Amino acid sequence: MKVKLKIDREESLREKVEELSGENLLKCYQCGRCSGGCPSIASMDLIPNQVNRYIMLGLDEEVLNSKTIWACASCFTCSQRCPKGVNLPKIMESLRQIRIRKNVDIVSVDELTPKERMELPTIALVSCLRKMSS
Amino acid sequence: MEIPYYPGCTLKTTAKNFDDSAFAVYKKLGIELKELPRWNCCGTVYSLTSDDLMHHLAPIRNLIRVEEQGADQVVTLCSMCYNTLAQSNLRIQQNEEERDKLNEFMYKEKVKYDGKVKVLHGLTVLRDMVGYDKIKSQIKKPLDGLKVAAYYGCLLLRPKEVCIDDPESPTIMEDLIRTTGAEAVPFPYANECCCSYETVSNKDIVIERTRMITQSAQAYGADVIITSCPLCEFNLDNRQKEVRKKYPDHVDIPVLYYTQLLGKALGLPLKSLRFDLNYINPRELFK
Ligand code: SF4
Ligand code: SF4
């Protein structure tokens, strides 16, 4: 078995996420209750508890390139129910912010059709752009 | 009694039916919603990262506008505005260093904000300030026989620090429904997220969620769903047309703001309730 040890000393994703979210990832004991109640799970590639685990394992690219962080609707169901008090919405937001702060736009107004722009209420556009554009 | 009122963007545009019906309903119940003379968009979502203070400026500025009116409380009707204002306010109350920093950012404001304004939601005003007994006594056209499902969604209930009732088993809307003579039908999707802003970036998940939520309410016997969030309203109401396209056996169920339902029972003129702006026509319900 090959074991890859990472010893580069740039700030790791885990450190960055812990700093931005104020959460201690070690608190998570992988019970999966967060994922059990997540409304968005059908459009996720990593389920919410996996996000925590992947960060711990140093699988940075997998997490940062996952669909999950954009599928999260910030509904606070997982944090409400987590028996260990882990605030996953904050972890998800940190991951989105790490991407967005590199000028990544997942959604941009220009890509919406005129019909969508007419139909969608302000509240939907503002909240989505706040979450998914730089 | 007068209360400063923060409408937020959507109540002045696509959710005008919420705004208009609320003015009429609260007035009838003795509460004058006094719109703040100046206000700005709160940003709709509460920023969750520890270093992002900038995005708390918008909600806090609105609370400064409230203090400028000499008031110490403000009411809002939109669940997202409520959540954002209340969470930013809480953060300011609990963190002195951040409070100072934010006030420094806003050095041009005359008021130094210290977290004293109370952020209220329209539903708690009805429960705690008007009282359900009083509402009951004012009902002119009881909605006997109508079965109503209350959809809470997320932001009235979570996180628990800003929750307006019990976070897992709320009854504030069911109790309100009962004052109108209608029957409140609890259903298991009442606090389940509709997937919110994903309606812009990933419409499919919202179509699925809308189907689950609306069909669950119907399975429990509901004739109509009520809500207090313009984004939930859009998802549950307008997106049913996409549900119908994908699942032709879907049967539409109307979605109303709680103020529209209450207004109807209070016997308010139809033109103040603006049923014309609801996507699925609710008029049939009241024939
Ligand atoms: S519910 Fe909490 S402890 Fe359980 S897997 Fe999710 S984050 Fe970890
Ligand atoms: S906040 Fe995000 S991850 Fe948590 S339950 Fe809601 S959608 Fe899922």
In a domain, A2, yes or no: no
Q: Quick one: pLDDT at residue B91?
A: 97
- How many angstroms separate the Cα of B118 from the Cα of each of B3, B60, B67, B88, B96? 11, 12, 10, 12, 18
Domain assignment of residue A44, yes or no:
yes
As for how many domains chain A has, the answer is 1
CA dist B287 and B284 (Å) reads 5
User: What does the alpha-carbon distance between residue B6 and residue B273 come to, in Å, rounded to a whole number?
Assistant: 19
**From ligand 1's centre to the CA of A30, what distance in Å?**
5
Give, rounded to a whole angstrom, the gap between the first and last alpha carbons of chain A: 42
- Which candidate, B7, B107, B97, B115, places its Cα nearest to that of B60? B115
Peptide linkage before B159 cis (omega within 30 of 0)? yes
Question: Residue A76: its pLDDT value, please?
Answer: 98
Write the pLDDT tens digit of every residue in B204-237. 999 999 999 999 999 999 999 999 999 999 999 9
In B186-205, the residues whose Cβ lies within 8 Å of chain A are 192-202, 204-205
Query: What DSSP string describes B33-102?
Result: EEE-SS-----SS---STT--GGGHHHHHHHHHHHHTT-SEEEE--HHHHHHHHHHHHHHHH-HHHHHHH
Is A56 contained in some domain? yes
- Six-digit token string for B112: 């130094």
Neighbours of B97 (CB within 10 A): 7
Mean of pLDDT values over A24-33: 98
Confidence of residue A7 (pLDDT cuts 50, 70, 90): low
Looking at the predicted structure, is the pLDDT value of residue A9 above 90?
Answer: no
pLDDT at A117 over 70: yes
Q: Give the residue among A37, A96, A36, A124 at the shortest CA–CA distance from B203.
A: A124
Buried/exposed code over B153-164 (b: 16+ C-beta within 10 A; e: otherwise): bbbbbbbeebbb
B270's enclosing H/E stretch is: helix B270-273
Ligand showing the shortest atom-to-Cα distance for residue B155: 2
**Chain A interface, Cβ < 8 Å to B:** 19-22, 39-40, 42-43, 70-71, 73-77, 79-80, 89-90, 93-94, 97, 106-107, 112, 116, 119-128, 130-132
- Phi first, then psi: give them for residue B224, nearest 5 degrees: -155, 150
State residue A3's pLDDT score.
Answer: 80
CA of A116 to the centre of ligand 2 (A): 25
> What's the CA gap between B71 and A62, in Å, rounded?
50
User: Residue B4 — φ and ψ, nearest 5°?
Assistant: -60, 140
For A48, counting Cβ atoms within 10 Å of its Cβ (0-12 exposed, 13-18 middle, 19+ buried), the class is buried
- The pLDDT score that the predictor gives to residue A10 is 80
Residue A21 covered by a domain = yes
* pLDDT of A1: 72
Residue B13 per-residue DSSP state: T
Does B240 lie at the interface with A, CB-CB under 8 angstroms? no
Record: contact A116-B200, CB cut-off 8 A: yes
| Test mutation, A123, A131, A132, A133, chain B, max B CBs within 10 A | A123
Beta carbon pairs, A and B, within 8 Å: 128
Q: Once rounded to an integer, what is the mean pLDDT over residues A21-28?
A: 97
Nearest to B181 by CA among B262, B69, B61, B280: B262
Which residue from A94, A119, A130 is facing B45, i.e. has the nearest CB? A130
The contacts found for B106-111 with CB under 8 angstroms, 24 or more apart, are B106/B57, B106/B60, B106/B61, B106/B64, B109/B61, B109/B64, B110/B68, B111/B64, B111/B67, B111/B68
Residue A123 lies inside a defined structural domain of this protein: no
Measured CA to CA, the distance from residue B222 to residue B187 in angstroms comes to: 9
Label residue A11 by pLDDT band (50, 70, 90): confident
Task: Give the pLDDT of residue A6.
Answer: 67
Query: In this complex, do A43 and B50 lie within 8 Å of one another by their Cβ atoms?
Result: no
Q: Is there a domain that residue A60 lies in?
A: yes
pLDDT value at residue A114: 93
> Least CB-CB distance to B159: which of A40, A80, A112?
A80
Structural domain for A73, as ranges: 13-98
What is the pTM (predicted TM-score) of this model? 0.96
Among all chains, which residue has been given the structure tokens 């110490």?
Answer: B72
> Rounded to an integer, what distance in angstroms lies between the CA atom of residue B144 and that of residue A120?
35
pLDDT at residue A8 greater than cutoff 80: no
ipTM: 0.95
CATH number at residue A87: 1.10.1060.10
Is residue A3 one of the residues assigned to a domain?
no
In a domain, A112, yes or no: no
Q: Which residues line ligand 1 (CB under 6 A)?
A: A 28-34, 49, 52, 82, 84, 86, 88
All residue ranges of chain B with pLDDT < 50 are none
